[in-house]
A and B are shown apart, each in its own frame.
Chain A
């Protein structure tokens, strides 16, 4: 039986990245029927919402989506398509795994960390006011249920995937109530998982520890803003945003996406590395229990990266997006 998956090709380099990834997925034997939907600049330029209702309804209906990068317009009143999707689908758990890829240069060998970022509250609630002409405030909203569900999601994922350690990251020494609530909830949730070693780190200390003792970490769980920052730091440790995958989970739906932007200056140049979106698609295949196809793609990608003959510009090569995808297909066994 094939899986129906919503495909949002995105903006900038998104369409060409999706073309490359679909080529690889087709060759993998994964049984997927794509349902095309729009979000981002195209509907916005037609005067529609950045994420049209039809797109939301399709994702609700089919439960799974793969999304190319999208451009967030800058300026007054503009909203982010990514944040809109997360909010309207209540995709509260952002998963950002990072690990050392063969053939991708990085000083961080044996990196293997899965980061869970809360996706719907904290400063990303974006509740802001000018309270006087000279003072603007932004509400940092941390709730007990919001904290509990991301913490439980991270612990459940750790348990299901044989991970041994979960670390909660916070700044509760300064924000004693908001981050204190997150930490208190983390300690409560951790008690339900006695087989998993729990620890907590202040976010600035975590930054330092990550780049000096990265082998000590297994699963990290963070409120929204710290998760945003730390997951990009970790993506850099993996080799850059061009290779870092991501996924967003709600109770009912999941949206898989590369974490990088749409790189509009490279649009149409067949230049950008499709690895991040491809590895996001691999996460999606595992979510769909298409394990064989996921393994086949991952191994073929590793062979291409390891061999190093076909590389995109960000990894020091000259291959284009489609040539890189073709090399993966050629290495599939």
Chain B
């Protein structure tokens, strides 16, 4: 298993304003209950207060890199859950949001 990123889940009444890049990680998307929200969606779409921000690196990263990512995000935001993202045999071992 190759560590390549992290999904960081935030408790926030609105979409969290998070950095687009932190260390080796680039923000790929923000989603809410599996639905990608940083693209055109229904005008009155409703969301929960639990947001997922996917940070992905284009190379293998260390667990310490993920800890540093969380430290940076913790300065302004409340995260409730983190899921490390892995590749297995070159394939993403995680789903993509709609």
Contact = CB atoms under 8 A, between A and B. Distances in A.
B97 interface: yes
Contacts of B93: 129-130
Interface residues of A, number: 36
Contacts, number: 87
Contact of A127 (B34, B48, B91): B34
A312 B6 CA distance: 53
Contacts of B33: 120-121, 125, 127, 141, 143, 146
B44 A251 contact: yes
Interface in A107-152: 120-121, 124-133, 141, 143-146, 149
Contact of B34 (A56, A126, A131, A251): A126
B44 A130 contact: no
Contacts of B98: 79, 83-84, 87-88, 126
A28 B75 CA distance: 63
A223 B32 CA distance: 17
A53 B39 CA distance: 10
Contacts of A252: 42-44
Interface string B9-38: 000000000000000000000000111000
B94 A251 contact: no
A145 B46 contact: yes
Nearest to B52: A127
Nearest to A53: B40
A90 to B, nearest CB: 4
A124 B33 CA distance: 9
B41 A125 contact: no
B45 A90 contact: yes
A83 B7 CA distance: 22
Given A121-B34, A124-B34, A146-B33, A129 B85 contact: yes
B56 to A, nearest CB: 13
B30 to A, nearest CB: 13
Nearest to B47: A145
Contacts of A125: 33-35
Contacts of B40: 53, 56-57, 88
Contacts of B41: 88-90
A87 B1 contact: no
A120 B42 CA distance: 13
Contacts of B86: 130
Contacts of B1: 130, 132-133
B94 A141 contact: no
A77 B1 CA distance: 20
B95 A127 contact: yes
Interface string A65-101: 0000000000011010001100111101000000000
B88 interface: yes
B79 interface: no
23 contacts: A56-B40, A60-B43, A88-B41, A90-B44, A90-B46, A120-B33, A121-B48, A125-B33, A125-B34, A126-B95, A127-B34, A127-B52, A129-B7, A129-B93, A133-B1, A141-B33, A141-B34, A141-B48, A143-B48, A146-B33, A146-B48, A251-B42, A252-B44
Given A53-B40, A128-B95, A129-B7, 5 more contacts: A88-B40, A89-B42, A125-B35, A126-B97, A250-B44
